[in-house]
Structure 1
Amino acid sequence: MKTLAEFAQSICLVIEDNRTTQFLKNVVTAAFPGISVHCTQSVKEAQTWLHDRSNTSQKTPLYLALVDLGLPDGSGLDVVRLLKEKEPHAQAVVVTIYEEDKYLFEALSAGAVGYLLKRDDPAFLSDILKRILHNEPPLSPSIATRLIEYFRQPEKNSTVKTELTTRERETLTHLARGLTVAEAAGTMGLSAQTVASYVKVIYQKLHVSNRAEATREAIRRGLV
Structure 2
Amino acid sequence: MNTPPGHALVLEDLPDVAAWLARLLEQRFPGIQVVRAGTLAEARRQLEAGMSPDLALVDLGLPDGSGVDLIRQLAQHHPGCAIVVTTLFGDDAHLFPALRAGAQGYLLKDQPADRLGAALEGILRGEPPLSPAIAQRLLRAFNEAPRPAPPHELETLTAREREVLVLVSKGCRLPELAERLQISRHTVSDHLKNIYRKLNINSRAEAALEAVRLGLVAGT
Query: Could you tell me the TM-score, scaled by structure 2's length?
Result: 0.80
Among 159, 171, 174, the residue aligned to 2:148: 159
CA distance in 2 between counterparts of 1:131 and 1:24 reads 16
Could you say which residue in structure 2 is the equivalent of 1:97? 88
Could you say which residue in structure 2 is the equivalent of 1:28? 25
Could you say which residue in structure 1 is the equivalent of 2:205? 212
- Higher mean displacement: 38-47 or 207-216: 207-216
Matches within 5 A, 1:10-49: 10-17=6-13, 18-49=15-46
Among 192, 196, 199, the residue aligned to 1:203: 196
**C-alpha distance after superposition, 1:31-82 (max 9, x if no partner):** 32222111111111111111222xxxxx6x4211001122233322222122
Amino acid in structure 2 at the alignment position of 1:96: T
- Higher mean displacement: 39-48 or 197-206: 197-206
Please list every run of 5 or more consecutive structure 2 residues that lacks an aligned counterpart in the other structure.
none
- Higher mean displacement: 127-136 or 201-210: 201-210
Aligned 8 A contact 1:69 1:75 in 2? yes
CA distance in 2 between counterparts of 1:100 and 1:139 reads 14
CA distance in 2 between counterparts of 1:30 and 1:161 reads 54
Aligned length: 212
Identical counterparts, % of pairs? 41
Aligned 8 A contact 2:2 2:126 in 1? no
RMSD: 2.9
**C-alpha distance after superposition, 1:143-180 (max 9, x if no partner):** 1101111222233xx43476636945543221122334
Deviation beyond 6 Å, 4+ runs, structure 1: 189-197
Aligned 8 A contact 1:164 1:202 in 2? no
CA distance in 2 between counterparts of 1:34 and 1:204 reads 53
CA distance in 1 between counterparts of 2:174 and 2:109 reads 32
Among 48, 52, 55, the residue aligned to 1:51: 48
